[in-house]
Amino acid sequence: MPDTEPEGRYRLLGVVPREAQQRETQEPDDTVFTWPHFLIRHAVVAGATVAVVFLLAILFNAPLKDMANPSQTPPVAKAPWYFAGLQELLSHYQPMVAGILMPGAAVLFLFALPYLDRAKGWRIRDRKMIVVVFTVLALAALVLTLIGTLFRGPEWSWVWPWKHLYVEL
Amino acid sequence: MASGRGIREKGWYRALIHPGESFRSSEVYRSAIRHPKPETPRGRALTSFQSFFLHIYPVQVPRKVLSFRSTLRLGFIGSVLFIILFVSGMYLMFFYHPAVPEAYFDMHTLSTQVAFGQFVRNIHRWAAHLMVLVVCVHLMRVFYAGAYKEPRQFNWVIGVLLLLLTLFMSFTGDLLPWDQLAFWAITVGTNIAGYVPMLGDHARQILLGGTDVGAPALLRFYVLHIYFVPALMVVLICIHIWRVRKDGFAIADRENEDAHAEETVDA
């Protein structure tokens, strides 16, 4: 009750070891128990993820075409969407370059990235070099994938997505 | 009155009126769940220590990690999708033969005659697409957050490996319906393997079990898809998460760094 106690008067409440007093002031406790604080958040995210997947599964059916027939080439033979960028690359350069060297170099770069980045500090301004290289690569992959997925039609010709969409997910 | 109190102390009375409490105090429950109720700090810590499933989590987490924006929960969402794929995939396996042409007919049976067959197939397909997407975004978030910096370099390498395995899972799964879409997507995809220097056609033949996409390729992709790659991924995901637990969340390091910076400024 500080109100009733006049200022400047102190009472001895107890004697504690010096280090116990110090420890309290040195490390402010900015952690919380995983159970329940973190787990409840994970439970909510897990529920939301399941809900999104169920909603998609209710709204859209997985496609099923005619039975596989090696002698009948479809008008549009597209790789799965995550490889459509690679396929787009293959339509520009010879297979050795676009199919092996370029994706191979990109994957090697990704693996070695933490060891290539010699900059100290984690902030973006501390490591501009690697951020620029990574961003250029990521943008290139994104643009190629979008072109391959949305803008390509029969015989890999350019088709505007609002004219016709050749996408099968 | 005295007899009423006597009844309340009987085992069957407690089991009837307070079944939950009675169950929790039973020997079976106490031997299976060995931690006290997680109501006190001690109970919460013991809950983490003594549960196998919670062992993958640290007992305490930095307060900053509680905010959704700190990690966007992308790694966790990826794991949840992996579990959804694991469960839905098992159901699909009950009705599937990795043979030509049975595989294709099984898909028709699945969508017309099997209870929830089409629905479970849809779940499996959309969860797979989402997982590829989420894992890619996870990689980008970790990069821009600088969370691959020492001491976490090697966990980044494991993460990249997991990304490639996720793509490979999606790719091998793509062939299994054995329709025109599957056949030509895999034909286009595996043609690239033929350009590998030195190995070239050998690489393609080992993958396909023949010169073209046929019955042996279907069986190989099936085995890789349902057995080998998922087993490898489970191990790698465990190591990946275990290393996060050992190194701590990157965001916590930063808070300390900031605190240090402030301290030095103050001094």
Which has the minimum average pLDDT: B7-11, B44-48, B163-167, B172-176?
A: B7-11
CB atoms within 10 A of CB A96: 12
In the block, residue with structure tokens 């009987």: B10
> How much is the mean pLDDT over chain B?
89
Question: Is pLDDT above 50 for B267?
Answer: no
ipTM value for the complex: 0.86
| Least confident interval from B82-86, B203-207, B251-255, B260-264 | B260-264
> In this predicted model, what pLDDT tens digit does every residue of A53-72 receive, in sequence order?
999 999 999 999 999 999 99
* A47 lies within 8 A of chain B by CB: no
Side-chain half-sphere CA neighbours of A138 within 13 A:
15
Identity of the residue numbered B164: L
Q: Would the pLDDT of B177 be above 90?
A: yes
**pLDDT recorded at residue A26:** 45
Q: By CA distance, what is A132's nearest residue in B?
A: B144
pLDDT of residue A22: 54
CB-based contact A161:A152 (threshold 8 Å): no
User: What is the C-alpha to C-alpha distance for residues A56 and A65, in angstroms, rounded to an integer?
Assistant: 20
| Entry pTM | 0.86
Average pLDDT over residues B107-113: 95
The string of pLDDT tens digits covering residues A135-155 is 999 999 999 999 999 999 988
Residue with tokens 């080439």, as numbered in its chain: A73
The pair phi, psi for residue A89, each rounded to 5°, is -60, -40
How does DSSP assign A32-91, residue by residue?
EEIIIIIHHHHHHHHHHHHHHHHHHHHH-PPP--SBP-TT---S-----GGGHHHHHHHT
Which of A54-68, B8-22, B111-125 shows the lowest per-residue confidence on average (mean pLDDT)? B8-22
Lowest-pLDDT range of A34-38, B138-142, B171-175, B193-197: B193-197
Q: What is the separation of C-alpha B45 from the centre of its chain, rounded to a whole number of angstroms?
A: 25
Residue closest to B50 by CA, chosen among B28, B25, B32, B27: B32
Yes or no, beta carbons of A124 and B146 under 8 Å apart = yes
A114 to B58: CB separation less than 8 angstroms, yes or no:
no
Contact call for B146 and A56, based on CB within 8 A: no
pLDDT attached to residue B155 = 97
Element (H, E) at A23: helix A18-26
- CA A147/CA A12 separation, integer angstroms: 76
Cβ–Cβ below 8 Å for A30 and B63: yes
Q: Which of B29-33, B49-53, B185-189, B221-225 has the lowest mean pLDDT?
A: B49-53
End-to-end Cα, chain B, rounded Å: 73
Contact check, Cβ <8 Å, A169/B129: yes
Q: Does A119 contact chain B (CB < 8 Å)?
A: no
One digit per residue, the tens of pLDDT, for chain A of length 169 reads 455 555 566 777 777 666 555 554 445 568 899 888 999 999 999 999 999 999 999 999 999 999 999 999 888 888 889 999 998 998 999 888 888 899 999 999 999 999 999 998 899 999 999 999 999 999 999 999 999 999 999 889 999 999 988 888 8
A chain contacts of residue B68, beta-carbon cutoff 8 Å: 41
Structural domains of chain B, with CATH: 2-41 (no CATH), 74-245 (1.20.810.10)
- The token duo for A111 is 């693996």
pLDDT of residue B145: 94
Where are chain A's structural domains? Answer: 30-64, 81-156
Residue A97 forms contact with B (CB below 8 Å): no
pLDDT recorded at residue A1: 46
Q: In residues, how long is chain A?
A: 169
The least confident of A102-111, B1-10, B81-90, B207-216 is: B1-10
